[in-house]
Structure 1
Amino acid sequence: MSRWPMVQESGDVWEKFALALADMARDLLAQDSVKGTLERIVEHASVLINGCDEAGILTVRRGEVSALAATSDVVRMADRIQQDLREGPCFDAVTERQQLYAIEDLRQPHEKWSRFAPELRKLGMGSMMGFLLFTEDDELGALNVYSHRPNMFDETAQRAGWILASHAAVALSAARTHQQLSHALETRHEIGEAMGILMERHGLSEDNAFNVLKKASQDHNIKLRDIARKVCETGERPT
């Protein structure tokens, strides 16, 4: 992929951006894991958003912040700072569910993020944006976009980032759904195999074999899939 300018609100520029998004969508859907999808999202962001030098994705789940993808260790450090301080535009985009937060010039004092902005300057950052990336029942995420120079993210870049984040959210949701379905099928297969072993070796009916697995899971507070896997490995009836 090559960087292309977005300096004017011309139809030609947005047409090129639309084509680039189509390429990004195909690339994201081609990834075989959620991790791969996340990594490709930040790589595309660093190319398609004018002025972007680095990008990363963080999530907040039940108040805990996690960095999921980053283009460099510097971004991971920036995400860590937001996590430790619980302060910053990306953290606010997630916790307050705002579409966009931005710091145009990190050289200037920032009243809202008075601790975070100076730390980011130490990492060599000049400006940044945070876009709400996706939402689930108890988890929110943000796409973080950084530039080493101040005042790099104009209205066009902000619009491009918001559009990219919206498309990326759809691809990420699809990747997660696919992963969940794959895990569900694997779990179903392992449970079925474990039930077959209990029926054959221990003379249990189908219902009793499943109840034995379920009771062991409840009694020991272990996932049903893990109980089934142990039965498959040892052939023993769980106690």
Structure 2
Amino acid sequence: MTSDGQDHQQGLGGRGDRGEASAQDTGGYRGEDVLATKLTRVARQLQESGSPAETLEGIVRGAVDLIPGADEGSISLVMGRRRVTSEAATGRLTQVIDDLQQQTGQGPCVDAAYHQETVRVPDMAVEQRWPLFAPRAAAAGARGMLSLQLFVTGDDLGALNLYSYKANAFDDESEHVGLMFASHAAIAYASIRRQTQLAEAVSSRLLIGQAQGMLMLRYDLDEGQSFALLVRASQTTNVKLREIARQVVDTRQLPTAVAPPEPG
């Protein structure tokens, strides 16, 4: 076997690992231990991701490698419980199916995200739950699907979608492994989101402080007055405070729509 082949088997989840473990560990505690070890390795790799987008890509790769029956995958993000976007799609089929769910407003990932369910579709060609979606999805080539709710944060939701080219590819084992994988993936994604939000908050605070300093020097203001001026500029222009601060730092002046403070 080439080094490329070895690397592929040792990646997230590793199909080669799964096949070897299945031959040696037919059920029982040892098989569960092998699965737990793989899930722990995947979770560790996900937590080392550098951004939420990179984490989502790692989640999908790991799921396709590890969950029996999966040929392709993607993640559906529902922002504000309205706008649905498809992230980290592995191929054209996933993008087509996600677009169909967006167009019809129905399908496995919609149910999984909104209702916090695990949704399994044995054979899309005979599926009755989504009359607008299922026939078109089957025609596109998605015969089986497994959707798992990943997270609910306020009005933001996420679901992991797995696709099979064959009917009846997803079984009880797929769902069992998928649920455990989704738990690890959700923790990793929540962690990287918190880290990213914290970094953005620190960056915003520094940027706003820099803009305040410029305004204090230019208009002879104190700290409170300079911050109030930035807030007024944000409200007047309907632009976020961080962006107003960036404009001040970049241009060294207030937006033209905002009157400067009176001298003295």
What is the TM-score with the length of structure 2 in the denominator?
A: 0.86
Q: What RMSD over aligned residues (CA atoms) do the two structures have, in Å?
A: 1.5
Q: Hey, what's the Cα distance between the residues in 2 that align with 1:175 and 1:130?
A: 22
Aligned pair count reads 237
Matched, 1:170 2:190: no
* Larger Rg, first or second structure (1 or 2): 2
Q: Hey, what's the Cα distance between the residues in 1 that align with 2:184 and 2:68?
A: 17
1:109-130 Cα offsets, whole Å, 9 max, x none, are 2221123222222222221111
Larger RCO (CA under 8 A, 6+ residues apart): 1
Pairwise CA distance, 1:237: 3.7
Q: Secondary structure at the match of 1:145?
A: strand
Runs of 4+ in 1 over 6 A off after TM superposition: none
Judge conservation of contact 1:17–1:48 (CA < 8 Å) in 2: no
Q: Hey, what's the Cα distance between the residues in 2 that align with 1:156 and 1:237?
A: 61
Pairwise CA distance, 1:63: 2.1
Judge conservation of contact 1:132–1:165 (CA < 8 Å) in 2: yes
Mark the CA change 1:179 to 1:81 in structure 2 (over 3 Å): closer, same or farther.
same
Q: Hey, what's the Cα distance between the residues in 1 that align with 2:254 and 2:91?
A: 49
Q: Which runs of 5+ in 2 are unaligned?
A: 1-10, 259-264
Q: Hey, what's the Cα distance between the residues in 1 that align with 2:68 and 2:116?
A: 24
Instruction: Give the corresponding residue for 2:115.
Output: 96
- The sequence identity of aligned pairs, in percent, is 38
Judge conservation of contact 1:82–1:88 (CA < 8 Å) in 2: yes
Instruction: Give the corresponding residue for 1:10.
Output: 28
From 125, 143, 157, the equivalent of 1:140 is 157
113-122 vs 221-230, greater mean Cα deviation: 113-122
What is the TM-score with the length of structure 1 in the denominator?
A: 0.94
Matched, 1:30 2:48: yes
Instruction: Give the corresponding residue for 1:71.
Output: 90
Judge conservation of contact 1:9–1:156 (CA < 8 Å) in 2: no
Which amino acid in 2 is paired with 1:190?
L
From 79, 100, 115, the equivalent of 1:81 is 100
1:194-216 Cα offsets, whole Å, 9 max, x none, are 01111122211111111111111
